Amino acid sequence: MIIENDRQKKATTDASPPAGQTSTSPVKDPPEQPISRPHEQKEIHTTTQWLSVISICISLLGIYYKREEIKKMLTPKTTPPVDISRQASEVDTSLSRKGIHSMD
């Protein structure tokens, strides 16, 4: 920073005329140009951005429409509770037993 300031001082002293001489032409400011504003966009979003928003909305609508199927798919499947009294009555006793018999 200090080096830059020294260079700038040297440049201004070299550019200025010696003390005895005055410059004959005064330094003129450049003519002021009218400030031109960049072309204002009338369209806020581009076509690609609109298509992206529309596709996201359609995807959300599709998910909303299929929400019941998605719930069924994501919930764990449970087996219905088995009635114990029905299970005992369904035991098949007609098979002959092999192996050790009781001594009754």
Q: In the predicted model, what is the mean pLDDT of residues 2-23?
A: 69
- In the chain, % of residues over pLDDT 90: 20
Domain borders along the chain are 45-74
pTM as predicted: 0.33
Q: What angle do CA 41, 42, 46 make, to 5 degrees?
A: 80
* pLDDT tens column, 63-92: 999 998 888 888 887 776 666 665 555 655
Confidence (pLDDT) at 103 = 73
Name the residue with higher pLDDT: 52 or 40.
52
